[in-house]
Structure 1
Amino acid sequence: MRILYLSQYFPPENGATQVRSFEMASRLVKQGHEVTVIANVPNHPEGVIHPEFKNVWYKKDELEGIDVRYVKVAAFREKSFKKRIIFYLTYMFTAALAGLLACRKKYDCIYATSPPLFVGGAAVILKWAKKIPMYFEVRDPWPQAAVELGLVQSGMAIKMATLLEEACYRNAEKIVVVTETVRDMLLRRNVPPEKMIVIPNGATVESFYWTQEGRDEIRKKLGMEDSFIVLHAGNMGVAQDLHTILNAAKLMEDEPRYQFLMVGTGPVEKELRDRAKELKLKNLHFLGYKPRPEMPPIFSACDAAAVTSKALDVFKSMKPVKMYDSWACQVPVLLGMEGESKDLVQAVNGGVCYTPENPEDMVRAIREMDALGFETRKAMGAKLRQYVIDNYSRASQARVLEQVLLGRLP
């Protein structure tokens, strides 16, 4: 089978979308299929195009057997509404052009992952031009998420985005969603239940695992051998509610045993760094961006991983990738989310939950996690890793996707 895979974000960028798309595409290749990915030139999350792609309008590359086509986009450091829309629209048009003019093979299907929603727009164009079936993946409900975050306020923009969203649902052979809550949302939008299938987020269990050596090395390097370490790993964006972590660190500043690590980058990183300086935090440390292969030892060094979001209804439908990465590395989570994530954490004893956007309650959760003791947390972590292996491995998810694209699932 030949698959034309549309994912605006893709390695060498790092992030949850990039990892999911790469893992799905690479495993489909290993399963004997040909996969061509159309992605934007790397620029995420800083909004700065990587130097080797600076003057590139179109570049063909290969990544672990995946045929990757990078296309030009208008990228901006400033993430205003207008500039975000330009960024998304330029991908939609350049991806559609690349699919029409450069990807000339006879493909069997198109698989488009969103958000951004405009990836679906390119897929709809290519579906009709190439006369092949389209499959549409919905990881987050958009434009609902953007509206609740205040990123989209124009009534006309919301109307146009909703029309595009509905066109994607209408044109898709199947719609892949990552949670049951998103499925329920689409059911209320009159999307037929037989059109949808849930393929959740997961972890690459082969490369994400706990190591004593990694734990000892990182803790010694940081001078935190006797500390209780709370980790935030991943995107630093508007949705993640990272100011709550800073405020919790401030509340615990007189207890040097508790240390906080911020690993990653994103649109609000500078704002967070400035705020940390303003608060004079000595127990919170920014380690910057780290390549994915370097993350398992960092997870291993920590005692709890913070998984956070704003207290908005839209986030009740989400189960972030970092939760599964943490569990694969045998690290329980401090969960500041409601909805499906909270239900899952409580069902599998995956950590301690606290009220989103409530630093005092986060402090309570940290103390509760610390009181369990290292050996108890380690035993919890071992069970959590096995749970992820049994239920949320990337390998099993790629096999389900293969069956969807082959038309073998009802």
Structure 2
Amino acid sequence: MRITLLHQHHANPDCPATCRQYSFMEKLAYRHHITLVATNAWRRLRLQHKYSWAPAGVALHECKASYSNKMGVTARLVAFVSFAFCSFVKLMRLPKTDVLWAVSVPLTVPFVVAQVARLRNVPWVFEVQDLWPSFPIEMGAVKYKWLQKLLYKVELSLYDSASHIITLSPDMTAYVLARGIDPTKVTTILNGTDIEKTDAVTADEVEALKVKYKLKGRQVVLYAGTYGRANDIPTIMRSIELLADNPTIVFILTGTGYYEPQLQHLAQRVPNLILLPPQPHDSVFALFTLADLALVTFNDLPVLASNSPAKFYDSLACNTPVIVTNPGWTKTFVVKYNCGWYTPAEQPELLAQTITEVLANPEELKRAGLNGATIARELFDRDHLVKDVEAILERVAKR
């Protein structure tokens, strides 16, 4: 089967990124012809050179279009439009494929694929990784009502146009179905994680980190991800301040984004914060294994409750329980499987209290960690999830 993937945010494991599509392409390329159209924007974030930029066997076609998590609304819009134009031209010039695969965000990616699919009479699959346009609208980036209505209309037309829709969480699926889409054309395939990278972490590696950062006798709370405006970083910062007098608890944060300057300033003022630079994807698993507890935080917005964050899966796979602030499916999940705790977003005093209480109960902490690791191997392994993706692509291609 010939599969052509359009993915604006392609990155490899040398980058501080989740690498879901990289993992899937790596496995699919053994059995199918994979073509990837992407930007070169993430190449500059490469922190090492252990991996090929695209998996072996994948034909890569790149567009030069800049992008950064620190960009403002106008700069992001320019980047989206630039990539949309370039990728449309490339897709139209490539040999005809059996199936097109669009990975959002942004909404311009599935829009381009839908046009190419129509013009070339090729079926396509829409992978919804974030709910657009709901996300930028609820974040206040799209203020005009007429534009909001237009974007929602485009979104619905893309759901209708796609031969099949893949979502990354049950809440995303519920959202799509609420738009009137046929349930038979929507499948939830969780974001997942790379279990083999979890298993590759050694005790010596973790011990070396403890020595390096002077963590002996201290309990570690980890946040590994984007310091973005949607990630409730001010709540984490305030919680760190509230626990600054507790010498047994240390916070490790690794990532980049909008709140990085404020975090750097905080790290100079308090003794319980270690701020690390972004880590390559394969290195972050050692930090999750080191941690006693991980934070998965987002602002109190309805659209963010549907998120399927990589750090949620990576942490549980590493035997590290999580505190989530989303009232959606992640809250339901940690309660059902007893692998974490929930505190409402934007309540730093309650978050600090929960952290203190959880870390004071080592038996409960250990039990939650074991529960998370067990369910991660059952539900989160990308070696298994890719088979579901492959089945959908094959079925759509035959149709």
Check whether TM > 0.5: yes
Percent identity of paired positions between Structure 1 and Structure 2: 27
* 1:10-409 correspondence runs (5 A): 10-12=10-12, 14=15, 19-30=19-30, 32-43=31-42, 62-75=54-67, 79-101=71-93, 103-104=94-95, 106-209=96-199, 211-277=202-268, 280-373=269-362, 376-407=364-395
Q: Deviations over 1:62-121 (max 9, x none)?
A: 4332222221114468522222111111111111111112x22x3100000111111111
Partner secondary structure for residue 11 of structure 1: coil
When normalised by structure 2's length, the TM-score is 0.92
Partner secondary structure for residue 225 of structure 1: coil
- State how far apart, in whole Å, the 2-side matches of 1:296 and 1:186 are: 32
Q: CA deviation at 1:377?
A: 3.0
Pick closer, same or farther for the CA change 1:99–1:403 going to 2, 3 Å.
Answer: same
Q: Deviations over 1:163-190 (max 9, x none)?
A: 3212211210001111222222122211
- The code of the aligned residue for 2:59 comes to D
Pick closer, same or farther for the CA change 1:346–1:119 going to 2, 3 Å.
Answer: same
Pick closer, same or farther for the CA change 1:323–1:272 going to 2, 3 Å.
Answer: same
Q: Pick which of 65-74 and 239-248 moved more.
A: 65-74
Unaligned runs of 5+ in 1: 52-59
Q: Report if the CA contact (8 A) 2:220-2:292 is conserved.
A: yes
- State how far apart, in whole Å, the 1-side matches of 2:79 and 2:3 are: 25
Q: CA deviation at 1:211?
A: 3.9
- State how far apart, in whole Å, the 1-side matches of 2:367 and 2:384 are: 25
Q: CA deviation at 1:7?
A: 0.8
**How many residue pairs align between the two structures?**
392
Partner in structure 1 of residue 7 of structure 2: 7
When normalised by structure 1's length, the TM-score is 0.89
Q: Deviations over 1:348-375 (max 9, x none)?
A: 11122212111111111111221221x5
Partner secondary structure for residue 283 of structure 2: helix
Partner secondary structure for residue 112 of structure 1: strand
Q: CA deviation at 1:218?
A: 0.7
Q: Report if the CA contact (8 A) 1:335-1:354 is conserved.
A: yes
Q: Report if the CA contact (8 A) 1:7-1:112 is conserved.
A: yes
- State how far apart, in whole Å, the 2-side matches of 1:10 and 1:72 are: 13
- State how far apart, in whole Å, the 1-side matches of 2:238 and 2:360 are: 21
Q: CA deviation at 1:22?
A: 1.0
> What's the C-alpha RMSD, in Å, of the aligned pairs?
2.3
Q: Report if the CA contact (8 A) 1:214-1:301 is conserved.
A: no
- State how far apart, in whole Å, the 2-side matches of 1:74 and 1:321 are: 23
Q: Report if the CA contact (8 A) 2:15-2:279 is conserved.
A: no
Unaligned runs of 5+ in 2: none
- State how far apart, in whole Å, the 1-side matches of 2:229 and 2:256 are: 12
Greater RCO (CA < 8 Å, at least 6 residues apart): 2
Q: Report if the CA contact (8 A) 2:24-2:386 is conserved.
A: yes
